[in-house]
Structure 1
Amino acid sequence: MDNPNNLNTSTVKNSTKKLPWVQYSDGYLNKTPVWQYILVSLIFPMWGMAASLNDILITQFKTVFSLSDTATAFVQFAFYGGYFLLAIPAATIIRKNTYKFAILTGLTFFIIGCGMFFPASHMATYGMFLVAVFIIAIGLSFLETSCDTYSTMMGPKSSSNLRINLSQMLIPFGDAGGILLGKYLVFAGHGNMADEVKGLSSVQKLAYNKEVLQLTLQPYKYILIVLIILFALIAVTKMPLSKATPSTSKNGKEPSTKESISYLLHNGRFMKSVGAQFLYAGMQTCVWSFTIRFALRIIPGISDHEATNYMVIGYMVWFAGKILATWLMHKFSITKVMVWYGLLGTAALIFTIVYHHPAAIWGAVATDFFFGPFWPTIYAHGLDQIHEKKYTETGGAFMVMSLIGGALVPIIMGRVSDLSGSMQLAFIVPAICFALITIYFIFEHRWEKAHPDQVQEH
């Protein structure tokens, strides 16, 4: 229960300025400021939209730049590499400034990265597009590091998990929105691009490529408008500080980055959760990056435009999986629910690998259902292992850094596809990841059964 007497100096300032919330010394608020919470939550689908557009770009760039499956994976490498490199700096900036400052910084980089697609489309080089994707990822690293934690802090501690789950519920809508923008703005007017370029002369292919790359700009025009509006609204809105006071530390000071990293590296259960998140990021990115291309290979005569339908359906079942898992985790042990989701998700991927028929695509789509609860659950479960809460912000950065799995694992899957000549066989890579994550939750469930008095999540 939150202690009304656990107030800090910001409480007095809040009273003086007659703000509609009171902040406690641990950073939580007496109630959730609805408008501010909505603004922060609206950022969540924006990074989902950016991530799903990568799947469109990969399909497009493979044809335009004549790339192998391994080379196309570098889109995700640039994207998630930005997360990895900037998560700790983002956490440091949050610690020294405010969540609002970090969010505005992230939106600035996001806007710049989207704007970079305009010169990139004219320069028509793969490297320039990767730079634009990397800059977007820098912005998203700031946004995810700040917004995930900020959402949990914007209200009473007792409802923190509910707030982060509600915010996360918006991500599938952003993912679906990105795919729909790609379907109707990037792939509109084209069938299967790989077939369309066959037989074209070098001059004709150059003209075709320029036309296709110009279509890449269309989704980012609309994204830019939304980002600029969000930036302006957050800039003029009074946002809560939602940060614990230094007095919560034993020496009255914030821990250094070095001290925080040392503590986390020696926290075994937390680091296992980071490893599980690394595998999950890689597995999810593999399945989503290869679904459209797998449909194009396994279903005769399907167009790029039609193949995107499988991703739209995938995001819908992903959302449904989140809803069901949230209900189940209120009824049963969280780790037990995750074990069953992991087992069934692994089975869906095995079906995708072994069933040599166009219906195998539905195995990949079904896997999305079982992805539903993993990211927020591993995130929250991992942070629960940080008993010294002064290290939580850096712990959140570690979780965001684990997204580097989304950069590295797809390269392995692409390499398996190239070497074996079978994209279907390459789904063995995310299947192994899902199996390992399931094993992680099996051991966590056993630990919780042996230590019921130390379980914080139930």
Structure 2
Amino acid sequence: MTHASPSSTSAPTAHSTPKLAMAVVTTIFFMWGFLTCLNDILMPHLKSVFTLNYTQAALVQFTFFGAYFLMALPAGRLVARLGYKNGIVAGLAVAGVGALLFWPAAAMYSYPLFLCALFVLATGITALQVAANPYVALLGPEKTSSSRLNLSQAFNSLGTAIAPLFGGLLILAAEPRTPEQLAAMSQAQMLAYRAAEAQSVQMPYLGLGIALFALAIFIFLFRLPAITEASEKNETRHYGLFEPLRHRHVLLGVLGLFFYVGAEVSIGSYLVNYLSMPDIGAMSEQAATRYVSAYWTGAMVGRFIGSALLLRIDAGKLLATFAGIATLLLLVTLTTSGMTAVYAVVAIGLFNSIMFPTIFTLGMAKLGPLTSKASSLLIMAIVGGAVLPLLMGFLADRIGLQHAFVLPLVCYLYIAYYGLSGSRVREPVVASTPVK
């Protein structure tokens, strides 16, 4: 994979200036944010449709984010072969296929097929992550890479803010039947009801599939600036895959992204169910989607603010501050009830804002020819979004959903440590020896 320094890019044209390229690539961040957050609505919907417990419903996120772990390295090789632009196009096309597979999954009323469709969709998004995150980070000076990636991630958060409202209107539009109403149904009526509920996802995902293919065509036709880095010179093939982990800030950064994505996804995944609890929000699932939207809107607002703050404040210190505040908010939602617990858990979104892009850029800082491999390893760490929601579902089935929020609390404590200490670059880049 080739990487970029601004000095090595070709002379900008009317169609390929860095600013215009940023604007175009930002649409990719919006789209994958939208698709990822839609899982927060899909998960409680499928839980109801297929009468699942929390652990079984968490397979939605396990499958989706598990694809990051399994497909990050193949996606990295694909992007290395195709380049950033064509890698993005391929990712959009694969994601489009995954979205279209929701139609037969719903028609056949099959939870395993829904999970297969999610895996294909997530495979495409993995390719987008592998290509677009380092592309934006390297599309300008290194000292402003965290700020630049935070700005793009702000539009990712715009997608996550809109998705719950979209899902609430189109997927959770019908009020679920009560247990008494379900008990009064015949076997045939029950099957017909469940099938109709499953099919409510068909049109939304069909539309998303068409949009993904249209965006792929647009990116293919658009002239993105070529990015190459003279320092790399195709030398990455001489290094072992896990060579970047010899650098302490990379190893701890991979763990940091694992815990961050796991915490963020765990909270978002269970918000609808959590806010519907009688002693917390006592609201309908559709009403709860508005608070899920507020949670992700907070992340969007925080990323715009964070993009400006990171130009003035050390990235590690700001990361630790935000993680510390998120920890305190989780303590509040764990120990209170009613709207106090609701507002505390929703406010965490604001402080999640800078975490992913900041951990990502700190984790791949000053690596030279190892940058591409570090990027793939960091993307693999997104598997935290598969593992921790499943573990939180396991805890919720045994100790209650509210008490299960102790899991993301522990994650934020680690992120605070990473910002204060773990992110410091202590090994010189030249210390690594190529593997012949």
TM-score, normalization: structure 1?
A: 0.86
One-letter code aligned to 1:442: L
In the alignment, which residue of structure 1 is the partner of 2:434?
none
Equivalent of residue 149 in structure 2, options 138, 160, 164: 164
* Structure 1 residues 415 and 200: alpha-carbon distance in aligned structure 2, compared to 1, 3 A threshold: same
In the alignment, which residue of structure 2 is the partner of 1:286?
266
In the alignment, which residue of structure 2 is the partner of 1:408?
387
Conservation of the 8 A alpha-carbon contact between 2:254 and 2:381: yes
In the alignment, structure 1 residue 93 sits paired with structure 2 residue 93 = no
How far the C-alpha of 1:419 sits from its partner, in A, is 1.3
How far the C-alpha of 1:37 sits from its partner, in A, is 3.0
Instruction: Single out whichever of 435-444 and 273-282 deviates more from structure 2.
Output: 435-444
TM-score, normalization: structure 2?
A: 0.90
In the alignment, which residue of structure 1 is the partner of 2:239?
259
**Where do residues 198-213 of structure 1 align in structure 2 (5 Å cutoff)?**
198-213=183-198
Instruction: Single out whichever of 112-121 and 332-341 deviates more from structure 2.
Output: 332-341
One-letter code aligned to 2:347: A
In the alignment, structure 1 residue 179 sits paired with structure 2 residue 164 = yes
- Residue 13 of structure 2: SS of its match in structure 1? coil
In the alignment, which residue of structure 1 is the partner of 2:433?
none
What do residues 95-128 of structure 1 show as CA deviations (whole Å, max 9, x unaligned)? 2331112111101110100000000001111100
Identity across matched positions, percent:
28
Equivalent of residue 437 in structure 1, options 410, 415, 421: 415
* Structure 1 residues 53 and 312: alpha-carbon distance in aligned structure 2, compared to 1, 3 A threshold: same
**Where do residues 181-200 of structure 1 align in structure 2 (5 Å cutoff)?**
181-191=166-176, 197-200=182-185
In the alignment, structure 1 residue 419 sits paired with structure 2 residue 398 = yes
Conservation of the 8 A alpha-carbon contact between 2:34 and 2:163: yes
What CA distance in whole angstroms lies between the structure 1 residues aligned with 2:390 and 2:194? 25
One-letter code aligned to 1:259: Y
In the alignment, which residue of structure 2 is the partner of 1:134?
119
Point out 4+ residue stretches in structure 1 off by more than 6 angstroms. 192-195
Higher relative contact order (CA 8 A, sep 6+): 2
How far the C-alpha of 1:349 sits from its partner, in A, is 0.6
What CA distance in whole angstroms lies between the structure 2 residues aligned with 1:272 and 1:3? 26
How far the C-alpha of 1:432 sits from its partner, in A, is 1.0
What CA distance in whole angstroms lies between the structure 2 residues aligned with 1:396 and 1:281? 15
What CA distance in whole angstroms lies between the structure 2 residues aligned with 1:440 and 1:155? 25
- Residue 167 of structure 2: SS of its match in structure 1? helix
* Structure 1 residues 244 and 96: alpha-carbon distance in aligned structure 2, compared to 1, 3 A threshold: farther
In the alignment, which residue of structure 2 is the partner of 1:297?
277
In the alignment, which residue of structure 2 is the partner of 1:32?
18
* Structure 1 residues 197 and 363: alpha-carbon distance in aligned structure 2, compared to 1, 3 A threshold: farther
Instruction: Single out whichever of 78-87 and 317-326 deviates more from structure 2.
Output: 317-326
How far the C-alpha of 1:439 sits from its partner, in A, is 2.1
What CA distance in whole angstroms lies between the structure 2 residues aligned with 1:309 and 1:184? 10
How far the C-alpha of 1:21 sits from its partner, in A, is 8.0
What CA distance in whole angstroms lies between the structure 2 residues aligned with 1:221 and 1:79? 18
* Structure 1 residues 199 and 254: alpha-carbon distance in aligned structure 2, compared to 1, 3 A threshold: farther
In the alignment, which residue of structure 2 is the partner of 1:347?
328
One-letter code aligned to 2:209: L
What CA distance in whole angstroms lies between the structure 1 residues aligned with 2:29 and 2:104? 27
What CA distance in whole angstroms lies between the structure 2 residues aligned with 1:41 and 1:196? 46
Count of residues paired in the alignment: 424
Q: Structure 1, unaligned stretches of length 5 or more?
A: 23-28
* Structure 1 residues 198 and 293: alpha-carbon distance in aligned structure 2, compared to 1, 3 A threshold: farther
Instruction: Single out whichever of 165-174 and 288-297 deviates more from structure 2.
Output: 165-174
Q: RMSD between aligned alpha carbons? A: 2.6
How far the C-alpha of 1:379 sits from its partner, in A, is 0.4
- Residue 101 of structure 2: SS of its match in structure 1? helix
How far the C-alpha of 1:334 sits from its partner, in A, is 2.2
In the alignment, which residue of structure 2 is the partner of 1:20?
13
What CA distance in whole angstroms lies between the structure 1 residues aligned with 2:413 and 2:178? 35
In the alignment, structure 1 residue 112 sits paired with structure 2 residue 97 = yes
One-letter code aligned to 1:32: P
> Between Structure 1 and Structure 2, whose CA radius of gyration is higher?
1
- Residue 190 of structure 1: SS of its match in structure 2? coil
What CA distance in whole angstroms lies between the structure 1 residues aligned with 2:401 and 2:339? 13
Conservation of the 8 A alpha-carbon contact between 2:302 and 2:351: yes
What CA distance in whole angstroms lies between the structure 2 residues aligned with 1:96 and 1:315? 34
How far the C-alpha of 1:239 sits from its partner, in A, is 2.6
What do residues 191-232 of structure 1 show as CA deviations (whole Å, max 9, x unaligned)? 567676454332222111111111112321332232122111
In the alignment, which residue of structure 2 is the partner of 1:365?
346
What do residues 384-419 of structure 1 show as CA deviations (whole Å, max 9, x unaligned)? 152xx1111111111110000000011111111111
One-letter code aligned to 1:148: N
How far the C-alpha of 1:368 sits from its partner, in A, is 1.1
In the alignment, structure 1 residue 277 sits paired with structure 2 residue 270 = no
Conservation of the 8 A alpha-carbon contact between 2:146 and 2:307: no
- Residue 311 of structure 2: SS of its match in structure 1? helix
How far the C-alpha of 1:165 sits from its partner, in A, is 2.4
- Residue 43 of structure 1: SS of its match in structure 2? helix
* Structure 1 residues 289 and 300: alpha-carbon distance in aligned structure 2, compared to 1, 3 A threshold: closer
* Structure 1 residues 359 and 203: alpha-carbon distance in aligned structure 2, compared to 1, 3 A threshold: farther
One-letter code aligned to 1:123: M
What do residues 334-382 of structure 1 show as CA deviations (whole Å, max 9, x unaligned)? 2222222111100111111111335312221011111011000000111
What do residues 45-85 of structure 1 show as CA deviations (whole Å, max 9, x unaligned)? 11111111111111011111111111111111110111111
One-letter code aligned to 1:278: F
In the alignment, which residue of structure 2 is the partner of 1:25?
none
